[in-house]
Every structure is written in structure tokens, then in C-alpha cells.
Amino acid sequence: MKFLFITSHYYPKPDPNAKRITGLAENLVRKGNSVTVITSSDDFSFREINGVCVYGLKSKGNFSKGKVSRLLNHITFMIKTIRFKREKDIYDFVIATSPSPFNYISGQRLAKKYSAKFVIDIRDIWPDVFVQTGIAKERDLVYRVFNFIAERAYKEADYIFVVTPGKKKRLQNKYPKYAKKIHLVSNGFDEKFLDNNINISFFNKFSKDDLNILYCGNVGIAQDLIPFIDVLEIINDSRIQFHILGKGNRLDYLLNYCSNKTSVNVQYHGLRCEEDVYTALKAADVSYVSLGSDLLDDSIPTKIYESIAMGVPVVLSATGDAVNLINTVGFGKIASSKDLKGLESAIRSVIQEKDKFLDLSEYAKSYVIDNYSRSKITDELLAILQQ
């Protein structure tokens, strides 16, 4: 079968959106399919990456520099994607993926152009995620505009993929008339991540004499790392080193906040490549994952899968689907997003029970590999499309 993906993010970008689509695309190729990707890129116009034909379209604006610049980036990418011309190509499926619902418009147009099935792959349900993160309310114009775009796309789609059971339930409740189109194609991780090499010079930044807690990912409103810093101040353990890898629109605020906490040891390492993320997980004693609002109960961050697969126990500040995963595997401790006492207890417990988690690590690794590898998830995707 021949697939065309429309995605704002793709390898070598290190964010979870890029990881999901890159993993699915490459696994589809390994399983004998043909895959083309259209993505936003200032670095290249065409590359073949691990058998995937990747077209990079230069878009105006910048995804990471404010709301207006991000919106401009989304809109110009949509326009250029719609104008994408490869008249000789024929595709069986056009898959448009969030975060931008403007990609859904591109997907609709190209699916009609190529007489292909139209598939939507949803990581975040737009515009509901605005409400979940407190950015907007349902009565706001921005919500109503994006809701119109999304609902029109759902109507036209042949298949709608979501990444967690909670998102499937939420979307089916909101759009019961489209319930039969909505399928769970879980998030997960790429097994090849485990084949990375250790960056020795970076590894040495993590002292074996310390308790190294790692946060790796976006530093934004949805993650809200401030309560974690407050709890580290309460614990006041000089052995704890909190390492941060990533970036986001709350990074400067977070680092400034940390600078006033003399008893909290924070090391910021910037946005790092996949090898360095692997290295950091190899060095870490604990992985911290957070969702800043209990309304984000239908999300499971990619870092949970990667942490467990590396044998690193997780301290999770969240509710819902992510909690269910940790409870199923039994490889971490949990607190709700605003429960500081619960978060303090979770941190202390995972440190004190280090030997227990060491004994559980092989089981935990096997569980996520068997159930959430991209290869397995790609098999599930193909089974749905072949029904």
C-alpha cells in the first residue's frame, strides 16, 4: 500500500509528534509499504530517510516563537501542502496528523486529489486541548474556529486514529455519529531508541554519588514543573540533582524561578539529540513526567514509554490514562497534578524503593516493548485499514 503523511514535525526534530510519525512511517516501509511524507522544514526540500521519501516545505513563521508566529507557520505550511504536486503518484491513504488542525484541511484536499482514503491521526484533540490547558474557553472565537475545522474534517475522514483510550472515549462522546470511524492506535516508542550509544562526555555530567532525577520534554503550560520545584525545596536533599532536557514557552520563567531556590539543584542541558536523551536515561535514577492539569487525563506522554523501556522508574504527576499505565506496569509512583504532599511522598518512595524497582525493571521493559513498540502499533494500524 502507498501512504502519504502530512505532518508539521518529522525526523530529525526530536519532539514526540515527530517521533510518532517517523516511527510509523519507517515501520510501514519495513513491512513492505511505500511511504511519502510532507513536513515543514527550512533545512531540506527532499531526503530519503530509511526508505521514506520526505519532502520538506519551507514555511513562514516559527513554531516555537509565540502564538502569531506559530499560526503563520501552520497556515503557510497548509497552503504549500495543498499546492504540493506529484501528478504521477497514486496513494491509497493520506494521513494528516495533529497538532495543527490546518493539516486536516491539507489532508482532505490531497485525499480527494489522489482518490485516497482520508485518515486523521490525533495526538491532541483540537480545540479541546485549549480548554484542558486553560488557554481558551469554549465560548472563545479561537475555540469555535478550530472546532469548525476539526468537525468538518471528522465528517470527511474515513478513519480517525487516537493515541489513548481516554481520547477515544472523549471524541466518541463528543461526536457519537462518527464513533465507528474512531480507532485506538496507541502512542509508544521506537525499539531502535534502545540501540543508541552512550555519549560519555554527557553521561559524566550525572554524578553517581547523586540522586539524578530527569525531566525530558516540552517545558510549557501543559507540563507545569513549578510544583515539582516547590516539592524539591521542601525535601531539601542536597543529593538530588534535577536535570532538565528540552525547551518550551515556560522555560525562561522556570529557570528564573529555580534561580531563587538555593536549596534546589537544577541543571539545564538544553534541547538534546536522541543519543543524549538515551544517555540521560541511562544515567538517571528517576524520570519525572507531569501533566499540569487534571483535565489532561486522556494523555500519555511518550517519555513514560521510553523511561520504562530503559528501566527508569517514573514519578508521575497526572491523572487518567497515564496513571493506568503506571499502575498496570507497577513501575513508578503517582500523585495528582496539584497534590504537593502526594508528590513529595511519591519522590521519597521511589528513592527509598530503589531495589524494588531494580528487581521489576526487566518485567517492565518487556511489558512496554511487547505492548507499545512502534512495530506492534504499526501492525494494529494496518489491521484497521485492511478491515
Q: How do residues 196-244 score in pLDDT, each as one tens digit?
A: 999 999 999 999 999 999 999 999 888 999 999 999 999 999 999 999 9
pLDDT of residue 62: 62
Q: What is the mean pLDDT of residues 12-37?
A: 92
- Asked whether residue 386 is domain-assigned, the answer is no
Domain boundary among 155, 185, 215: 185
Residue 253 pLDDT > 70, yes or no? Answer: yes
Classify residue 378 by burial, with Cβ atoms within 10 Å: 0-12, 13-18, 19+.
buried
Residue 66: pLDDT band (50, 70, 90) is low
Residue 40 located in a structural domain:
yes
What's the confidence (pLDDT) of residue 75?
A: 86
In-domain check, residue 387: no
pLDDT at 64 over 60: no
- 206 lies in some domain: yes
**128 plus 32 within the same structural domain:** yes
CA distances (Å), origin 136, targets 61, 126, 127, 133, 334: 22, 11, 9, 8, 28
Distance CA 252, CA 269 (A): 13
- Output the average pLDDT for the chain: 92
Please indicate, yes or no, whether residues 93 and 110 belong to a single structural domain of this protein.
yes
Domain stops at, among 127, 162, 185: 185
Grid cell digits, residue 214: 530527569
Residue 94 falls inside a structural domain: yes
**Residue 382 within a domain:** no
- DSSP E strand stretches across 41-107: 46-49, 52-57, 93-97
**Residue 268 lies in domain:** 191-371
Does residue 201 share a domain with residue 137?
no
Local confidence band at 43 (pLDDT 50, 70, 90 cut-offs) = confident
**Domain shared by 259 and 300, yes or no:** yes
Same domain, 147 and 231: no
The residue with greater pLDDT, 141 or 295, is 141
Domain identity same for 141 and 212? no
**376 band by pLDDT with thresholds 50, 70 and 90:** very high
pLDDT band at 267 (very low <50, low <70, confident <90, very high): very high
Q: What would the pLDDT profile of 308-323 be if each residue is shown by its tens digit?
A: 999 999 999 999 999 9
The pLDDT of 137-162, averaged and rounded, is 93
Count of the separate structural domains present in the chain: 2
Give the full edge-to-edge strand order of the sheet including 117-122. Answer: 46-49, 52-57, 34-40, 2-7, 93-97, 117-122, 159-162, 182-184
32 shares its domain with 171:
yes
Q: Which residue has the higher pLDDT, 56 or 63?
A: 56
pLDDT band at residue 283, thresholds of 50, 70 and 90?
A: very high
Residue 61: its pLDDT value, please? 59
For residue 277, name the pLDDT band (cuts at 50, 70, 90): very high
Identify whether residues 156 and 200 lie together within a single domain. no
Instruction: Look at residue 379 and tell me if it is in a domain.
Output: no
Give percent of the chain above pLDDT 70. 97
Mean pLDDT of 162-188: 96
65 — pLDDT class (breaks 50, 70, 90): low
User: What pLDDT does 134 receive?
Assistant: 80
The beta strand positions in 250-373, using DSSP E, are: 266-268, 286-290, 314-317, 332-335
Does a structural domain hold residue 318? yes
Looking at 185, 216, 237, which one is the last position of a domain?
A: 185
For the beta carbon of residue 79, count every other beta carbon within 10 angstroms: 15
Residues 97 and 67 both lie in one domain = yes
State whether 145 and 200 are in the same domain: no
Q: Are residues 154 and 235 in the same domain?
A: no
Q: Return the pLDDT at 338.
A: 80
CATH number at residue 315: 3.40.50.2000
* For the chain, percent of residues with pLDDT exceeding 90: 73
At 335, is the secondary structure helix, strand, or coil?
Answer: strand
Q: Are residues 205 and 101 in the same domain?
A: no
Report how far Cα 239 is from the mean position of its chain's Cα atoms: 30
